[in-house]
Amino acid sequence: MAIPGILVKIVETKKTEVAELEKSRDKIIADAKAVTRKPLDFKHHLQNSGGLAIISEVKKASPSAGVICENFQPVEIAKAYENGGATAISVLTDIDYFQGHPDYLTAIRKEVNLPLLRKDFIIDELQVYEALTLGADTFLLIVAILTPEKLQELIQLGTKLGMTPLIEIHDEEELKIALDAGAKIIGVNNRDLRNFTVDMGLTAKLSPLVPDDCLLIGESGIKSVADAKGLRESGCTGILIGETLVREGLHNCGAMIKDMREC
């Protein structure tokens, strides 16, 4: 399974980051084990959202869109999402490619009560332990950048820590790998990371292959309530949406979240 070009570059950066984490391995694991806060049940919140579950993403920039929000206020954005009725909040912690930061996660945790997802390119257990310490309730795993064995290992670690991860796939082969590894929440990335093109029909195509005991989440390219409705009709329990909500601004994002939940 070939890794898309942009991911190859990102993974190399992550390997360097993990090498730095390794210098503090014992402390990182000890800090995570010392966390007394029980992670919120991400899957339960998605299943019981009272409508289409909206995972609203705190996102400053991306490789495909560039800078999305110049006056970026991560905590204020997260609070606006919560006030607007979001089900959960995704926080980008990648620095080099999305202009996120781990500190954003910690700051948001202090101000909101929704489940928080660490959105990053996780390739090692230390990043999972770190996510818990930062205040995350769950985390993203991308099948395209992990071996089946490593994927299963990280899913099992998350489960042990009380964190059910969101497993991102882009095609039928990756879906099979995810299910074989024990995935319980499947996210279909409608964007092809080889060329950044978006196919909003991809989720509908893969939906019939997702077992009933798994939740299906639509990701990427969601621009409107109509897009959200289409994904719901395709079998999605929820959607992960960032750029569109950030562009709506602090005062308007809540209305869009409400309309998408009720679509």
Q: Which residue has the tokens 């390119």?
A: 121
Distance CA 195, CA 262 (A): 33
Q: Which letter does DSSP use for residue 65 in this model?
A: T
Q: 219 catalytic, yes or no? A: yes
Q: 233 catalytic, yes or no? A: no
* CA nearest to 245, candidates 120, 103, 60: 60
Q: 168 catalytic, yes or no? A: yes
Q: 57 catalytic, yes or no? A: yes
Catalytic residue among 130, 168, 174, 243: 168
Q: 189 catalytic, yes or no? A: yes
Catalytic residue among 14, 17, 60, 119: 119
For residue 185, give both structure tokens.
């929440």
* CA nearest to 215, candidates 160, 167, 150, 157: 167
Q: 12 catalytic, yes or no? A: no
Distance CA 191, CA 201 (A): 11
Q: 243 catalytic, yes or no? A: no
Contact 130, 21 (CB under 8 A): yes
Catalytic residue among 14, 17, 56, 57: 57
Catalytic residue among 49, 190, 220, 234: 220
Catalytic residue among 56, 62, 90, 189: 189
Compute the chain's Rg from CA coordinates: 17
Catalytic residue among 17, 174, 219, 243: 219
Cα–Cα distances (Å) from 41 to 32, 48, 113, 241, 260, in that order, read: 17, 11, 12, 20, 22
Catalytic residue among 14, 59, 60, 184: 59
Hey, which residues are catalytic here?
57, 59, 119, 168, 189, 219-220
